[in-house]
Structure 1
């Protein structure tokens, strides 16, 4: 059975909106190595609609390095009820998106990697389908925006490890407690 791993950027005040506005100054070799391990440990991406709409145009216009080539070549499974014609090697998760992810997890293969956090993440967490979260805490305060898993009931996690980069970014690797 494959694992579903979610990787999300977060500010110190819990904001997840518009990471391109506050995260880019912290990208370095340590960041690239960690992100590469996650990406190359997966053979497909799972995305919500909003993440897909942000990622597809940005990544499709790039090429030439192993990370970019990998992300562009991977199949993407998108949770959406509004988008019909997807690009970027992407397909709509059929029927109930949560059940479709359950079926993807049951298939043979490497991990499934999910970027971004929102209502789809909450549904996957409620269905006990997320195996690991990699929350990348950036040493910046956004001041406003959507908060990480806002509206979720009390949910406990077990700590699987933390990685601190020289840039000040700390990745907390967590798993939902049973």
Structure 2
């Protein structure tokens, strides 16, 4: 059985909305592109390494449309080659245009569709797609959470863990790693059970 990896960029207050650019998700949000000033070679290398071995993408409709409007025209670089080569699975309640080669619309039963993807692929990446990510977190339909925390607070925007999050245990899979601009990479795996409580005394 394969693994579902969530790849997320967030601020200290866990806003994950529109890190890539002003036009990515502008509705009610004035900080689109907040990640760009904080990129450095270390975090870039971490992201590149995180995509090694990827054999499928699982995307929400909005992220898919952004990617489909950009990546098919890119012919250079490892990420462009990867994104254009691997199958793309799209979670949407509507009927998006799936003209990007290798794209497939998932069925209405998201949990069943994700399980089928896990059986078909070894290393599936979920990029951005906050609405989809929140569903996967809530249903515990993921195996690894790659989270890059950036040293800014925005005070507004869609958050990684929003309403509807459920009690979940995670385990740190490797030591945290920081880049010179202050972004910290945390890699967690889904663990069994729910958070325990205790008495500090």
Question: Cα distance, 1:62 vs. partner?
Answer: 2.4
Question: Cα distance, 1:117 vs. partner?
Answer: 4.6
TM-score normalised by structure 1 residue count: 0.89
8 Å contact kept, 1:157–1:177: yes
Segments ≥4 residues shifted beyond 6 Å:
none
Rounded Cα–Cα distance in structure 2 between residues aligned with 1:127 and 1:113: 17
Question: Which region of structure 1 is more displaced relative to structure 2, 62-71 or 165-174?
Answer: 62-71
Question: Cα distance, 1:145 vs. partner?
Answer: 0.5
Q: Which has the higher strand share?
A: 1
TM-score normalised by structure 2 residue count: 0.80
Rounded Cα–Cα distance in structure 2 between residues aligned with 1:95 and 1:15: 28
The secondary structure found in structure 1 opposite 2:126 is: strand
Unaligned runs of 5+ in 1: none
Unaligned runs of 5+ in 2: 21-32, 193-201
Indicate which of 147, 155, 174 corresponds to 2:168: 155
Rounded Cα–Cα distance in structure 2 between residues aligned with 1:165 and 1:135: 13
Question: Which region of structure 1 is more displaced relative to structure 2, 7-16 or 110-119?
Answer: 110-119
8 Å contact kept, 1:12–1:138: yes
Q: Which residue of 1 aligns with 2:195?
A: none
1:92 maps to 2:105 = yes
Question: Cα distance, 1:167 vs. partner?
Answer: 2.0
Q: Which has the higher helix share?
A: 1
